[in-house]
Amino acid sequence: MYKFFKEQLDSKIENHNLRTLREYCPLDAVRVKRDDKEYLMMASNNYLGLTFDTRVIEGALKGAQQYGTGSGGSRLVSGTFPLFTELERSLAKFKNTEKALVFNTGYMANVGTISAVADKNTIIFSDALNHASIIDGCRLSRGTVKTYSHCDIDELKYLLKQVDRNTRKLIVTDGVFSMDGDIAPLDKLYELSRDYNALLMVDDAHATGTIGNGHGTAAYFGLEKEVDIQLGTLSKSLGSVGGYVAANSTIIDYLVNTSRSFIFSTALSPADIGAALAALQVLETDASVLARLHENVNYMADQLISMGIDATNETPIFPILIGRNEDTLAVSDYLYEDGIIGTAIRPPTVPIGESRIRLTVTAAHNKEQIDYVCQSLQNAMKQL
Ligand SMILES: Cc1ncc(COP(=O)(O)O)c(C=O)c1O
C-alpha cells in the first residue's frame, strides 16, 4: 500500500526536490533560533515586520480576552463576532470598495472566490505565473482556463478576441507576483477587461502593505473603484492569518451565499482578527513603518545591483535566479551556514530550470543585516 508513496519520495530525493519541515523559534520579526544558533530570516512575507509589534500583539490579546480563543463555528452559523464586522468595514474602506469579506486564509479566499464567481460556462484568463491557490480555484470552478504568458497583454488580447462577447469571462492575476516580485500591468488588464466584457480580479497577497502606499495594486494604478475583485491576505504584511475579498456589495453578498470555503469552515479566532485589525490600523496611521520598508527595499536593490544581480523591482521580493535544484540548494545551504535563512524555491513552485533563492526584506531589518546577507550571497554564488 505504501510503495507508491515511498517511490514518489525517493524520486524527489533523487531530483534534489524533497521538502522537509525545520523547526525554528522566532525571537523577533527577523531573527529565529534553532539548536542554540541564531538565524536571520530572509524568507518570510512579514513585510512590515508587524508580527512582534506590541500594538498588534495587544490586538490579538484583546481579541482573545474579549471574545474567547475560538469562534465556535462557521461565520454564517455562529462565528461572526463584532471584530469581524469592524475588520471588514476597515478593509473595505482601506481598499476603497463597498464591502469586504474575510476568509480563513488567502488560499481559501482564492479557491472559494474563483470557484463561486466562475462556473463551467465561464472562461478564465489566468497569468502563467499566478499563485497555486488561483490555479486551484480555477480547477474547482470547472470553467475553461486559458493561461496567457506572464504579463503578456498581446497574447491575452488575442485569447479574449476568440471568445464570444456574451460568454462569461474572468481575468485573474497576482498583483505582485509571489516568486518574482514584479507588478502586474493592471492598467492594461483593466482596459482589456472593459473592452472584452470580462470581470477583473487581482490577488494582492504581496501587494497589500508594500505598494500603492500600502493599499495594493489597484491603488498603485489608481484603479480601486474600477477593479471588480481585490483579494488579499492577512497573513503577510498584516502579521496575522486569514484572507479577504474587497468588492462591491453584489459580489460580496453573492460570495456569502455561494463560496464553499467561506460557508463550510469554522471562522478565524478572535485573536487572529484582533491582530489583523490592529495591524491595519498601524499601516494606516504610522507612516514610519512603510517608509522603513521602502528604504530597505531600495537599499537591498542597490546592493544586489552592485553585485550584478538584476534587482530592479519595487517590491520586497528579490528572486536570485540560480537554475538547477542542486545549485540552488547549495547556495541556500551556504547561507544557512552563515546564519541566514534564504530558502531554495524549486518546482513545482517555479518552472523547471528556474529554481531560485527568494530573498525578502522587511521593515524590521537593518542595513547591517542587509549588507551581511548580500556579502554572504556573493560568496555563496562564487562557490558554484
Ligand atoms: C499570491 C498569493 N496568493 C495567495 C496566497 C495564499 O495566502 P495565505 O498564505 O494567506 O493562504 C499566497 C501565499 O501563500 C500568495 O503568494
Domain boundaries, the chain: 17-47+316-382, 54-285
- Assigned CATH for 17-47+316-382: 3.90.1150.10
Determine the pLDDT at residue 66: 97
Sign of CA dihedral 160, 166, 167, 170: positive
Q: Is the CB of 174 under 6 A from ligand 1?
A: yes
Q: Is 326 exposed, middle or buried (0-12, 13-18, 19+ CB in 10 A)?
A: middle
DSSP string, 179-196: TT--B--HHHHHHHHHHT
| 243 Cβ inside 6 Å of ligand 1 | yes
Active-site residue (options: 95, 99, 131, 236):
236
* Bond before 348 cis per omega within 30 degrees: yes
User: Is 236 an active-site residue?
Assistant: yes
Q: How far apart are the first and last CA of the chain?
A: 41
Q: What is the pLDDT of residue 281?
A: 98
Q: Is 301 in the pocket of ligand 1 (CB under 6 A)?
A: no
CB of 113 shorter than 6 A to ligand 1: no
The label of the residue with cell 459580489 reads 251
Strands 243-247 and 229-233: antiparallel
Whole-number pLDDT of residue 313: 83
Q: Whose CA is nearest to atom 7 of ligand 1?
A: 106
Of 95, 323, 104, 333, residue with least CA distance to 202: 95
Rounded Cα distance between 176 and 297, Å, is: 14
The CATH class given to the 54-285 domain equals: alpha beta
> What gap in Å lies between CA 188 and CA 248, rounded to an integer?
21
Protein residue closest via CA to atom 8 of ligand 1: 106
Going by alpha carbons, the residue nearest to atom 3 of ligand 1 is 205
Q: For residue 233, how far is its CA from the centre of ligand 1 (angstroms)?
A: 7
Rounded to an integer, what is the distance from CA 286 to the centroid of its chain? 22
- The count of C-alpha atoms lying within 13 angstroms of the C-alpha of 283, restricted to the half-sphere facing its C-beta, is 31
Question: 99, 131, 206, 365: which is the annotated catalytic residue?
Answer: 206
355-360 and 169-174 strand pairing: unpaired
Ligand 1 pocket: which of 133, 182, 360 to mutate (most atoms <8 Å of CB)? 133
DSSP 8-state assignment for residue 29: S
Judge whether 161 counts as a catalytic residue: no
Q: What is the pLDDT along the chain (384 residues), one digit of tens a residue?
A: 999 999 999 999 999 889 999 999 999 999 999 999 999 999 999 999 999 999 999 999 999 999 999 999 999 999 899 999 999 999 999 999 999 999 999 999 999 999 999 999 999 999 999 999 999 999 999 999 999 999 999 999 999 999 999 999 999 999 999 999 999 999 999 999 999 999 999 999 999 999 999 999 999 999 999 999 999 999 999 999 999 999 999 999 999 999 999 999 999 999 999 999 999 999 999 999 999 999 999 999 999 999 999 898 899 999 999 999 999 999 999 999 999 999 999 998 999 999 999 999 999 999 999 999 999 999 999 998
